[in-house]
Structure 1
């Protein structure tokens, strides 16, 4: 009863999946076989009905394609404006994702789910926009044609002769909450096409001749119906798991075939494939792994691996589960997968085994009341064997038996002591404990040996007559017999427990292995780190060698290996190329180029489009000449390959994002440069042309003072233009890395004085205060470049502080640096902008009364100061008013030159 109650409880995984689905918005997909079947019209019709029910409906994007009946269905619905994106000089209008998230309606309509967004959008595909909308808890209705599914892309191309470029992963359709199939017979669709209800007349005629033929539409219609049926079947299975419905619900046929070790497994797989193909139903191959699996002969393990691999090649699904009660596990699996028929093979055990044990087939038939069961006849003939290939459980088989002998000897010694005070039956407990220890430590065979040896020793030393194997007392005969039975049963149970513990440890090691692998590749920063983590972990896990090949200029190259490997022989390289070109395993242990020494697996993720080449190849070479992977090794290697592909793809995405960021920054700088050129070149040129034109036309009639003003204007604007060109040249030198300071011993006071002299006209009536601390050391600087730094700082002060406000220049020594401050009493710089003002072309927003800058001056200052090993920062003025820009310059390590005037302080007011 308790077991039944447990089985009636919903699966925790199913409940968790259902809870996650409830937190997200629901996705309803209107699926059609081809354009024009009425998907968008049906979606809008459903939206209008829900709007009348009081649901808040918003149109994110709907393409009517000029169809009047579709446009009519939009009436009364709120339509969000589209976002304008300029790409390659053309304006495009895409769905405004941010507007939808800000609006947060109950339901949003998003047409054409497989659409590819214009570059510059947040996501590459529209279905990714929909996923973000659903994450915000907003329901979505969308439309999709069956030819846009990735798994059908190549099939559609063969049928229609048209390569569909816009695809989406099948998982998007499989994870949808609802699918509404919009079906239309081919003749009706062709009629609509000719009436101009799908395309304009010229396009319609071409479409009927090519894509919209009766045969093509019939094939597409069948694919759409199949996808809808499979989706409904998956939805029913999810409902059954969530509500703990054991099933089966025979709404659709599904065949389950159960295989064991031996050649019969291959025959079972082929038989099931033929049966499934005749009835056109899905089929699953199941192998139940018990504690006996580890003690199977290697050829039996290989036969299981070959059968599972054959099933995958024939299009079947495979599953491997661990359990001890095989028949119960088969029935539980069949109920969970809603199977309609179970196929098993007929076992042919020995007569003595059949008398003591029931076969799995017999046990299954006795327990099964829900499923049709087909027992495949045929002798389970095994080829004659040479030596037994079962693995030796201990390091050396003889060591295990030696330890068993020593354990029995120790139990005998204890029994001799117990014989003094205790009756005969109690002495057998010592031997039972010894047998149990041997079974736990060394497995079944040594424990059986210990049982027999204990039986003989117990009989020889403790039963009358002693020191013979004869038994005189009938009661002692029963005691010795039951002791032997108990010893054998105890050893068998203990060995089984040991096997189960080993299986549990193996599962734990596998989980820890995958966790460690994920941790390593997650911590890896660049592609090289990821590749090294992958090959090192795969090699150590598979106890062999590993390498990764990636395409370089259209050719596969070995990019990482452990142990280090950079070349492959011709056979192995041919297998790697075939695996890359076909997206399937190749090489040793596979069915393609098995003569190669390596096994190659394609690295592919869900983002790879159907028919696209894998991103790379993972190669594995097993040690000791092992040709085939066990089912467990195969599953583990497939998992590692999937995780490696995701990690490599992650690094590629990071590189793409960085490249996009650099491209965007380059575009921003280009736009800023063009803006600066248009303003800072045009403005002084206009002033120069205007003043020169006035002098040329009216020079004789102008007063001397007016002519002087015009000449001064020409000079000032020419100097301004010269400074702009010089800034561009300096910025180019800094950006290209060709700026090399020509350092010399200089006095800071001389440089500050020269900069103030150049800026005298620019300063106007602003009072200047210069305060240089006495005793400042000589500095190793490029006098021309550092003078340019201070000139640019003074120029920046003049542009951003009002006339008549004082300007202060201070210099102080702090440890091994000299700090120079240039302060004004202007409006100041917001704290958020104090770091960004040193970026190229960045300008703090200011009023119209203030002169505009190019955004290059402070960037040049930072480049020059950094070339001298210094720093430059911006902060608030000392009294909280204005801005102070601080230049930090290093004091040279060389001793100061003696005899110099130590009083180089300069106090000046200007």
Structure 2
């Protein structure tokens, strides 16, 4: 196998990376299309093989889900004790990271890599626990389904109609040391389902009709196979780099389109795109800029950049490379990216250049293992690629000061040679002129260097070779001297100009890296959006020669020129900017959307969401066509967006801290006052009851006063109880007594408690017949329903009906309480759940606005939610959502996963692990 000589710097970097990998643990992922294909079983089988080889292995977390064969495979293996973490009223069991680090086995099994840890754990995600284990030098085996990969989340939700909330960053998958695909054909998986080897028998029919439809399984399997193939391809490329393998391995077809000044144009780009589409393979498009090509006229450079942009629009990976030899750079790029086919334009034959090889021939000779495809050009394209004499003249005219300085330099070299002529021989005089050629080439480039070579030969011949002051020579040997002198001068000038070009390229790259570093440093210290805008504006102007403005979003996701920098762009079109923000795509100059605009609008994409729009007015719009410049601009925009998001969350954290402290203080005051009021209120109520029972009984007027006093004390006592309950709920001190309860009983007890309030009202209760048992605190949920029914009786006409409905929806049970009153205040549907907020402030109905706040707190404590809305037919509707949970099965151990089959969590193996609802 041919091996290329490694670059010393690359070799050093790889040795250092290998040293880091040697200290780090190895991650092995068992990857599958969906639950039930046997990932956990395969992982346990591999772990048992390691045990046979004497490896110190323990189980960190393994979810068997009651599958007998999996439990048998795990039997006898050492298990780390799980850690209990209090969460609300429960104590949940989670992986003990500190215990694993203290035990420090050689290998640990961590099932379900995408699992979300209980709040209060060190890391929110299990994959972060795995990262810490790997950093400690512990090898890890884990499992992942394809739907848990972050980049495939939207794709799979579009296929199955079910969104997965627990995901793993693709970087974790891509950087794993080994990925094992655990595959099972859809028919076999469906057969396992029917045999009860994946879920309980009574759940199979629902599973097959929902997530486990055959079409879904086929699509998921294809995605898993493709993602594994991509991962294997990456492993192959990394191996080739590590082993310095030169030949291209034809594991799959891939294309490289070469764009040049005379053999690119649009036809080669479109041909490559069409061929890549037909073969369904990736393709790249590159332009190699050499010192000679730097002298291209502006029109040709613009055509090259336009072709590169076209290639990018057609799906190619584009790059602008630099080097002295186009053939070498092209072949090296193809080898580095394992591209097996190179597409070039066919050179137009010219008889007077018969001794020159075409670009295709040169590439074929340098890389005989690669396929070179030549694309013929039309006559019109040939005319475009012919050299324009006017371009050459214009180029020389623009550089006339450099050519003049070359002539002056040769003249000065002649004067110096004249002074030294009596002392030194002619060979030494020749060195003076060669030095002049080198200096001119180094300072002014290739063209002036060529002129200096010819002038040096002419001056040397005319002034120093006998007969002097004549171009005639007395000895024909001097002709050889002139020829060698001219050739050496030309070669030296070429090499010097090339070295200067390479130095300029390296300087430009170093400047770009330094600019990114300085920008990152300054942005990390910025504390205000205005500071971020000023930093971004300064760096963009320095690196891209553009005027920048920043448009940030307000509370309603509308852009506004809130930052001072936006005032520098008077032509900003907020409509185009809003379109770019709403669609998350660039618009304006240099794009395919509203390209006539003189300004480029680039959305600021932060990790969590879009943060605004960057508006750019480029002095030279052609710079947007250069892939490296566009990538630099995208990097700037990303850094700015992340900085804006960081500042936003710093502000959110500060406001949250203030709110928490304010709430804590207010709850403490309310709790203290409420406790102090309970004793006198209890005395007032007892006194009223005593007065009502006195003998002789009070008169009618006295009884009315006593009952009014008692009712007022009772309302005040209810208010005090609400305040105390609110304080306890917000402090987290309320322990829910959750039991598996039928919802029908809770609704019935609530109606019984409100019988007096609802007397004379029509009631309509519609509960779905297949409602599952719910894991809830019946007293608390009854309190929620009682509050809602009391509100309905307060704010609706006395004889208006009240409706209660319950149904299964996705992974929860939805309970709805509807009335036929005036409905909720417009645009205050969320505000009514805040403390001391009332639906209508002018209402004469008693209350201070705590009932709905308590309802929301109770629902959140159950992992559910509550919201209100005004119905189209009139009246208010309160929608309660409760999680279905996993009720105990009737066979004594396996959770009833069927109750959650409508949601994604039950489709995954992760669903059987008790976790907080998201």
Alpha-carbon spacing, 1:5–1:390, altered in 2? closer, same or farther (3 Å): same
1:253-307 Cα offsets, whole Å, 9 max, x none, are 3333333235625433333333333333333334333323432333333334333
Q: What's the counterpart of residue 556 of structure 1?
A: 559
- Following superposition, the deviation at residue 644 of structure 1 comes to 3.1
Equivalent residue for 2:572, pick from 569, 576, 584: 569
Residue 291 of structure 1: SS of its match in structure 2?
Answer: coil
Alpha-carbon spacing, 1:520–1:377, altered in 2? closer, same or farther (3 Å): same
**Contact in 2 for aligned 1:539/1:620 (Cα 8 Å):** no
1:817-855 Cα offsets, whole Å, 9 max, x none, are xxxxxxxxxxxxxxxxxxxxxxxxxxxxxxxxxxxxxxx
- Following superposition, the deviation at residue 163 of structure 1 comes to 3.0
2:183 aligned with 1:183: yes
1:72-112 Cα offsets, whole Å, 9 max, x none, are 4443341432442425x666554443443344333333332
Alpha-carbon spacing, 1:350–1:385, altered in 2? closer, same or farther (3 Å): closer
Moved more, 263-272 or 208-217: 263-272
- Following superposition, the deviation at residue 441 of structure 1 comes to 1.3
Residue 188 of structure 2: SS of its match in structure 1?
Answer: helix
Alpha-carbon distance in structure 2 between the residues aligned to 1:614 and 1:628 = 22
Alpha-carbon spacing, 1:13–1:596, altered in 2? closer, same or farther (3 Å): farther
Q: What's the counterpart of residue 604 of structure 2?
A: 603
Length-normalised TM-score, structure 2: 0.66
1:25-68 Cα offsets, whole Å, 9 max, x none, are 22222211122222233333433443454444444334444444
Q: What's the counterpart of residue 32 of structure 1?
A: 32
**Contact in 1 for aligned 2:82/2:93 (Cα 8 Å):** no
1:664-699 Cα offsets, whole Å, 9 max, x none, are 767876887799889x9699999x99xxxxxxxxxx
Q: What's the counterpart of residue 375 of structure 1?
A: 374
Alpha-carbon spacing, 1:588–1:9, altered in 2? closer, same or farther (3 Å): closer
Moved more, 134-143 or 427-436: 427-436
Q: What's the counterpart of residue 633 of structure 2?
A: 637
Residue 115 of structure 2: SS of its match in structure 1?
Answer: coil
- Following superposition, the deviation at residue 16 of structure 1 comes to 3.1
Alpha-carbon spacing, 1:36–1:103, altered in 2? closer, same or farther (3 Å): same
Q: What's the counterpart of residue 47 of structure 1?
A: 47
**Contact in 2 for aligned 1:536/1:562 (Cα 8 Å):** no
* Mapping for residues 187-586 of structure 1, pairs under 5 Å: 187-200=187-200, 203-262=203-262, 264-348=264-348, 350-352=350-352, 355=355, 357-378=356-377, 381-383=382-384, 397-422=399-424, 426-463=428-465, 466-467=468-469, 474-552=476-554, 553-560=556-563, 562=565, 564-565=567-568, 568-570=571-573, 573-586=574-587
2:26 aligned with 1:23: no
Alpha-carbon spacing, 1:394–1:60, altered in 2? closer, same or farther (3 Å): farther
Residue 225 of structure 1: SS of its match in structure 2?
Answer: helix
**Higher-Rg member (1/2):** 1
Alpha-carbon distance in structure 2 between the residues aligned to 1:390 and 1:545 = 34
**Contact in 1 for aligned 2:101/2:136 (Cα 8 Å):** yes
Q: What's the counterpart of residue 760 of structure 2?
A: none
Q: What's the counterpart of residue 78 of structure 1?
A: 79
1:487-522 Cα offsets, whole Å, 9 max, x none, are 433333332222222222222222222232233223
- Following superposition, the deviation at residue 186 of structure 1 comes to 0.9
- Following superposition, the deviation at residue 410 of structure 1 comes to 1.7
Alpha-carbon distance in structure 1 between the residues aligned to 2:438 and 2:49 = 73
Gaps of 5+ in 1: 690-910
Q: What's the counterpart of residue 129 of structure 2?
A: 129
Alpha-carbon spacing, 1:174–1:671, altered in 2? closer, same or farther (3 Å): farther
Alpha-carbon distance in structure 2 between the residues aligned to 1:131 and 1:390 = 60
- Following superposition, the deviation at residue 222 of structure 1 comes to 0.8
Alpha-carbon distance in structure 2 between the residues aligned to 1:627 and 1:329 = 23
**Contact in 2 for aligned 1:262/1:382 (Cα 8 Å):** no
1:360-412 Cα offsets, whole Å, 9 max, x none, are 42222112233333333336525388896789999963332332232233223
Moved more, 107-116 or 422-431: 422-431
Alpha-carbon distance in structure 2 between the residues aligned to 1:493 and 1:113 = 56
**Contact in 2 for aligned 1:8/1:246 (Cα 8 Å):** no
**Contact in 2 for aligned 1:455/1:483 (Cα 8 Å):** yes
- Following superposition, the deviation at residue 444 of structure 1 comes to 1.9
- Following superposition, the deviation at residue 455 of structure 1 comes to 4.2
1:219-251 Cα offsets, whole Å, 9 max, x none, are 110110111121122122223322333343333
Residue 374 of structure 1: SS of its match in structure 2?
Answer: strand
Alpha-carbon spacing, 1:496–1:242, altered in 2? closer, same or farther (3 Å): closer
1:174-221 Cα offsets, whole Å, 9 max, x none, are 111121212111112222333444345565433322322222211110
* Mapping for residues 101-112 of structure 1, pairs under 5 Å: 101-112=101-112
Residue 375 of structure 1: SS of its match in structure 2?
Answer: strand
Alpha-carbon spacing, 1:657–1:20, altered in 2? closer, same or farther (3 Å): farther
Alpha-carbon spacing, 1:528–1:93, altered in 2? closer, same or farther (3 Å): farther
Length-normalised TM-score, structure 1: 0.66
Residue 568 of structure 2: SS of its match in structure 1?
Answer: coil
- Following superposition, the deviation at residue 591 of structure 1 comes to 2.4
**Contact in 2 for aligned 1:342/1:371 (Cα 8 Å):** yes
Alpha-carbon spacing, 1:581–1:242, altered in 2? closer, same or farther (3 Å): same
Moved more, 43-52 or 584-593: 43-52
**Contact in 2 for aligned 1:9/1:244 (Cα 8 Å):** no
* Mapping for residues 127-166 of structure 1, pairs under 5 Å: 127-166=127-166
Higher RCO structure, 1 or 2 (CA under 8 Å, sep 6+): 2
Residue 133 of structure 1: SS of its match in structure 2?
Answer: helix
**Contact in 1 for aligned 2:360/2:372 (Cα 8 Å):** no
**Contact in 2 for aligned 1:288/1:320 (Cα 8 Å):** yes
Moved more, 510-519 or 315-324: 315-324
Alpha-carbon distance in structure 2 between the residues aligned to 1:675 and 1:395 = 88
**Contact in 2 for aligned 1:393/1:442 (Cα 8 Å):** no
* Mapping for residues 801-880 of structure 1, pairs under 5 Å: none
1:633-666 Cα offsets, whole Å, 9 max, x none, are 2232233333334434444454565566667767
- Following superposition, the deviation at residue 439 of structure 1 comes to 1.7
**Contact in 1 for aligned 2:87/2:119 (Cα 8 Å):** no
Alpha-carbon spacing, 1:370–1:481, altered in 2? closer, same or farther (3 Å): closer
**Contact in 2 for aligned 1:575/1:600 (Cα 8 Å):** yes
Equivalent residue for 1:622, pick from 618, 638, 647: 618
Alpha-carbon spacing, 1:248–1:144, altered in 2? closer, same or farther (3 Å): same
Moved more, 358-367 or 213-222: 358-367
**Contact in 1 for aligned 2:519/2:539 (Cα 8 Å):** yes
Alpha-carbon spacing, 1:450–1:53, altered in 2? closer, same or farther (3 Å): closer
Alpha-carbon spacing, 1:251–1:396, altered in 2? closer, same or farther (3 Å): closer
Residue 501 of structure 1: SS of its match in structure 2?
Answer: helix
* Mapping for residues 705-724 of structure 1, pairs under 5 Å: none
**Contact in 2 for aligned 1:61/1:82 (Cα 8 Å):** no
Q: What's the counterpart of residue 779 of structure 1?
A: none
Residue 276 of structure 2: SS of its match in structure 1?
Answer: helix
**Contact in 1 for aligned 2:550/2:565 (Cα 8 Å):** no
* Mapping for residues 779-794 of structure 1, pairs under 5 Å: none
Q: What's the counterpart of residue 844 of structure 1?
A: none
1:572-607 Cα offsets, whole Å, 9 max, x none, are x444334333333332112222112222334336x4
**Contact in 2 for aligned 1:587/1:598 (Cα 8 Å):** yes
Moved more, 99-108 or 227-236: 99-108
Residue 532 of structure 1: SS of its match in structure 2?
Answer: helix
**Contact in 1 for aligned 2:547/2:569 (Cα 8 Å):** no
1:673-727 Cα offsets, whole Å, 9 max, x none, are 799889x9699999x99xxxxxxxxxxxxxxxxxxxxxxxxxxxxxxxxxxxxxx
